[in-house]
Chains A and B, each alone.
Chain A
Amino acid sequence: MNQVLTSRSALEMSATHSKDALASHQTVRTPDPDAHPSRLRADGVSVFYGDKQALFDVSIDIPEKSVSALIGPSGCGKSTFLRCINRMNDTIEGCKVTGDITLDGQNLYDGNLDVVELRARIGMVFQKPNPFPKSIFENVAYGPKIHGLARNKTDLEEIVVTSLQKAGLFEEVKDRLHSPGTGLSGGQQQRLCIARAMAVGPEVILMDEPCSALDPIATAIIEELIDELRSNYTIVIVTHSMQQAARVSQKTAFFHLGKLIEEGPTEAIFTNPREKRTQDYITGRIG
């Protein structure tokens, strides 16, 4: 009984607390006249893990056919925000999302939206490469198979080959498509995961620190790949590396303690941050 009471009062406290925070918190936005139009929008998104609030009222437009980077110190809620976009938070026990995320005006948290379809449209690449313990071919073919994207075997083979080519992996693995995907090097595995995500033909690809487990050479290959993919996909990438954000992204959003502090064109954020916390982070004073 006691415990219930305390937990409820804690909830109320955190709720009032977050209201205060809302009142005092304003994202600094630098508009980008050259930005592509946005089909993906977040509006007032808050996320709770049980009683604990991890994101506070985040609103941001993600321009299509470009790369948006989410940066910020560890634990600030970047992954949490990324997971909201394809509703992977649904799979986490006790996670609650409020606010709206819309894709082409349709609310992703609408009750009658099918998450299966949503995740076919919004693919995800995880921080740690996680290929299926199956062959390279089956890894890439799995998505098209379950979504019924290939009419026959040759179709499927074509999808697999083009996806592997787009991910820049085909040349390295073309002789061993039927050996296990888990037998590849870390960087190759990550590119396999990217190929796997692309095989479904998503409009948006979410990447959560895709290079954090890779060496500089593999990282460079993947950065190059992201740059090429940009012309066809909307990409949102979480990264801890300022250089990476600066190199690959057109838009940057800086998170701190669950709040979106500042967002704008990558150039502007890195050369001329308007918020002190952004500047501190970029120059390495908080992290």
Chain B
Amino acid sequence: MSDLSNQTKAAGEDRHALVRKGLARRHRTEWLFRAAGLTAVILALGFVAILFTTIVSKGLPAFQQAYISANVQFDPELLNLDPAPERQAGQSQADFQAQSFAWQRELAMLNWNALVEASLRDLLPIGFEIDSRQLLSIVETSERHRLREMFVADPSLLGQTVPVEMLASANVDNWLKGTINRELGDAQQQLSAPARQLADEFYENGVIHMGFAWALLTNVDSRSAPASAGLAGAFMGSLYMLLIVIVLAVPIGVASAIYLEEFAPKSRLTDFIEVNINNLAAVPSIVFGLLGAAVFINYFRLPLSAPLAGGLVLTLMTLPTIIIATRAALKGVPQSLRQAALGLGASRSQMVFHHILPVTFPSILTASIIGVAQALGETAPLLLIGMNAFVAQIPTSPMDQATALPVQIFLWNGNENRNFFEARTSAAIMVLLGLMISLNAIAIFLRTYLERKK
């Protein structure tokens, strides 16, 4: 008896020794694994930090822009034009319209540049000689249109002198910010020597100053007046597409996932569908663009470049992501919850809507928002349905021509005025990233809020 217990004791000590011997190795593996994980996290964070610092350091200057403070006189001699026609009693509508058009044409023919030039000449330092083409090159070409619009909106300006903050041209902006090499010779400079000198003198005496670049946020893209190019059109285009994706992809995706997971009997057909949905998620996005061009544009004759077509393409692209993520969330619900509901006599749809969905709602929501955010950043498929067209108006409906934020980034990145658009591109990226981050923040907020409520 004591022999036996001695034996087991000895064996026990043996085993302890074995365990102890292995222990060091196990701790080492554990340590190695932790170190590898930590390194990976640090590396990833480092890359993200590099990405963000480059984008922000490049993009931030674009939020500042050179303005020229001038006093514009709406000189009656330059603006010799009858007052805007008013509708006479008994005049037919067509007649009145023709008259208005004639007046507006006349208005456009006026030499608005002369107004701009006169206001700049007033500001010239004494004795400064510069010809009118060179003088006008320091102000953005969009400003004469702005003066016209001011006048149309308020004809009583005639004869008055008002202070106007005019956008300096992109070339002046480059010159003052030093985004173009100031040492380059005349031949390589966009501005002539007197224009450059004037820009410097104006900057010194405060006629030209840096201000917040509202144009970037409130204007549409512009080719002729780069300094006035903005993101408003692309932003609205993206917003419409976002709405379409939310309205279509989220409910359809969630409903299909629920059907496949909770209702559909397991069969060859559902297996086949499942495999195909998984494959669809891996299809390159440009293929969805081709599909969209073939189906929505060629067959259904939806307007080219419209957020409607873009939104539908992005919906197709997002569906598999949402379906897969939602199914994963549903799979995570313990079977016992389903049994509890069914065992009480709940029907399948009652089980889903009363018990399964409330539990999975936060994860389904996160999945949807991530899918939608992914769609928001998509460029390639949009190029194929014409959303890279130059659009000079803010779209007012999903049927209007529009472009999208990522496409705008792509277009600006390829703009020939590299010096100016490099910063604008980064600024546009910042706006897009800001939108994405807010979407994700909403997801995180809703998730924690809903989980706390439960």
Contact = CB atoms under 8 A, between A and B. Distances in A.
A117 B454 contact: no
Interface in A269-285: none
B348 to A, nearest CB: 9
Nearest to A94: B266
A146 B346 CA distance: 7
A96 interface: no
B345 A128 contact: no
Residue of A88, A116, A193, A196 with highest tally of chain B CB at under 10 A: A116
B336 interface: yes
Contact of B345 (A130, A131, A132, A147): A147
Interface in B87-142: none
B339 A143 contact: no
A236 interface: no
Contacts of A197: 343-344
Interface of chain A: mostly helix, strand, loop or mixed: helix
Contacts of B337: 130, 132-133
A124 B341 CA distance: 10
B355 interface: yes
A80 interface: no
A20 interface: no
Nearest to B346: A146
Interface string B311-352: 000000000000000000000001011111111111100100
Interface in A136-175: 142-143, 146-147
Interface residues of A, number: 27
A74 to B, nearest CB: 19
Contacts of A88: 339, 342-343
A128 B343 CA distance: 14
Residue of B334, B342, B345, B355 with highest tally of chain A CB at under 10 A: B345
B369 to A, nearest CB: 23
Interface of chain B: mostly helix, strand, loop or mixed: helix
Interface in A81-117: 86, 88, 91, 93-94, 115-117
A117 B334 CA distance: 24
B359 A133 contact: yes
A146 B344 contact: yes
Contacts of A116: 345-347
Interface in A222-253: none
Interface residues of B, number: 21
A119 B339 contact: no
B338 A91 contact: yes
B60 to A, nearest CB: 47
Interface in A45-74: none
Given A126-B336, A132-B355, A133-B359, A86 B343 contact: yes
Contacts of A123: 343-344
Interface in A195-236: 196-197, 200
B83 to A, nearest CB: 73
A120 B345 contact: yes
B418 interface: no
Given A132-B355, A133-B359, A133-B454, A126 B339 contact: yes
Contacts of A118: 345
A132 B358 CA distance: 11
A130 B344 contact: no
Contact of B343 (A93, A119, A133): A119
A119 B359 CA distance: 24
A119 B345 contact: yes
A132 B338 CA distance: 10
A143 B342 contact: no
Contact of A146 (B340, B345, B358): B345
Contacts of B346: 116, 142, 146
Interface in A12-35: none
B343 A126 contact: yes
Contact of B340 (A115, A126, A200): A126
B354 interface: yes
A126 B342 CA distance: 12
Contacts of B334: 130
A130 B339 contact: yes
Nearest to A202: B345
Contacts of A91: 338-339, 342
A171 to B, nearest CB: 24
Contacts of A120: 344-345
A68 B338 CA distance: 26
Residue of A88, A115, A132 with highest tally of chain B CB at under 10 A: A132
A36 B345 CA distance: 27
A88 B454 CA distance: 29
A120 B345 CA distance: 5
A143 B344 contact: yes
A196 B342 CA distance: 13
Contact of A142 (B339, B342, B354): B354
A96 to B, nearest CB: 13
A182 to B, nearest CB: 10
Contacts of A130: 334, 336-337, 339-340
Contacts of A126: 336, 339-340, 343
13 contacts: A88-B343, A115-B345, A116-B345, A119-B343, A119-B345, A124-B339, A124-B343, A132-B340, A133-B359, A133-B454, A142-B344, A147-B345, A193-B340
Given A120-B344, A124-B343, A126-B343, 9 more contacts: A93-B265, A93-B266, A118-B345, A119-B345, A123-B344, A142-B346, A143-B344, A193-B340, A196-B344
Interface of A: 86, 88, 91, 93-94, 115-120, 123-124, 126, 128, 130-133, 142-143, 146-147, 193, 196-197, 200
Interface of B: 265-266, 334, 336-347, 350, 354-355, 358-359, 454
Closest 10 CB pairs of A and B: A119-B345, A130-B336, A124-B343, A120-B345, A130-B340, A143-B344, A116-B345, A93-B266, A116-B347, A146-B346
